[in-house]
Structure 1
């Protein structure tokens, strides 16, 4: 049961602003931190259901600033793979209990941080050449699946897009287009699986201004703010929340 208490909004408000900044300016990679944070205080399905309409609102708000600046071919490949990936996520959700999703969200959160550290240290290197088109479709499947189970489709999409040596803005615009489409694909199965409730709808109405504020700040930050400080905060949040979710799911 989702209770719209002051404590809920004290946690959810900043988390949704953070998601808007990430999706609006930094390629969507860290936006799922908001769902991870909400999953600390809500049943995971409700946390995911509460976030999806807000993420879709952020998508709409950020489409216009980046319109036409994307790599259309790459985006369409990722979307084509993303739809069956969403179907796989829906099939798992229908068969798994809440603790499975706590652990999944936690593992994806901590795995994201470890992946970024490994890249920075040179332990993992991005492809020197552009990955083939089939790899884009595979990345789309993984992005669709992880997006469905934790709103964390950014990293697999990034692996493919960054191999193409796209510019900062082309990368950002492509992720906006890809996850606008994937989030639309997620809406029907989320509704069918009961992840939307009257309470999550009320939360969406109250949190919508936070989402729009975050999206606006993200577009501004894309042009003005270095990414280092933002992602250091992201990694800290994801490490703490991911570890807590894994612990809760296993115990």
Structure 2
């Protein structure tokens, strides 16, 4: 496993805050997990170490939130998201991450700008919904960045906060377990990476439990405000990272 102390100084807070997001509390720090870990290792290795942790966090989050999932929406979302994973698997290793960041950041800002100008966010039509879910699966595979497209699909639905969180949890749990296939095929789930993931599991579970505790005391209005704020900050961050890498 990795023994570099600098890696763990970045990885421990990154995994904890990602866990909080899995627990139901959106957080921009979760989106920074791969970049933080990539300060001492390659981005691909950082994503590979994080993936088994995401699967573990998903199992814990499912225990708390699966009963609140809107399975009608999930049946619409999942097929195209899996198609996105399959498409990304073909491009993995050849498509620059900054291209994905620019694409998602631009879409997210367009979505938020439309909501601001129209004072509401209309639910995407069927074709746009399919495209957003495909993009969520694609970007989740390339850079664990499937959250913004999924948010653009789910937030306008104005689901109760329990359904919003539950549907997101079940959706990404399914995606992350599907993603194990291409990551294994690429040889990224090797002994070193898996042992490093194992060391970080307690931090991941602590983050999820903290997120579950917080979401139970936060109002629905605040959950939506947090979700839109996280989407905005994430979009800015992704655009900045993409432009900086050009």
TM-score range, shorter chain: 0.7 to 0.9
Aligned residues of 1:22 and 1:28 also touching (Cα < 8 A) = yes
Q: Secondary structure at the match of 1:25?
A: coil
Say if 1:203 and 1:231 are closer, same or farther in 2 by CA, change over 3 A.
farther
2:175 is the alignment partner of 1:171: no
What is the correspondence of 1:1-251 to structure 2 with a 5 Å cutoff?
3-26=2-25, 31-96=30-95, 100-101=96-97, 103-104=98-99, 107=102, 111=106, 114=109, 118=113, 122-123=116-117, 127-128=121-122, 130-225=123-218, 226=222, 243=240, 247=244, 249-250=245-246
The offset of 1:28, in angstroms, is 7.9
Structure-1 separation of matches of 2:41 and 2:210: 27
Structure 1 Cα separation of the partners of residues 242 and 36 of structure 2 = 9
Q: Offset at 1:135?
A: 3.8
Structure 1 residue 76, shift from structure 2 partner: 1.8
> C-alpha distance in 1, partners of 2:23/2:241?
27
Q: What's the TM-score once normalised by structure 1's chain length?
A: 0.81
CA separation of 1:10 and 1:245: change in aligned 2, threshold 3 A: farther
- Relative to 1, partners in 2 of residues 1:116 and 1:133: Cα closer, same or farther, differing over 3 Å? closer
* Distance in 1 of aligned mates of 2:192 and 2:4: 11
The Cα shift of 1:37 comes to 2.0
- Contiguous gaps of at least 5 residues in structure 1: none
Q: TM-score, normalised by structure 2?
A: 0.83
Q: Distance in 1 between matches of 2:39 and 2:120?
A: 33
Mapped to 2, the partners of 1:83 and 1:46 lie a distance apart of: 22
Instruction: Show structure 2 runs of 5+ residues with no match.
Output: none
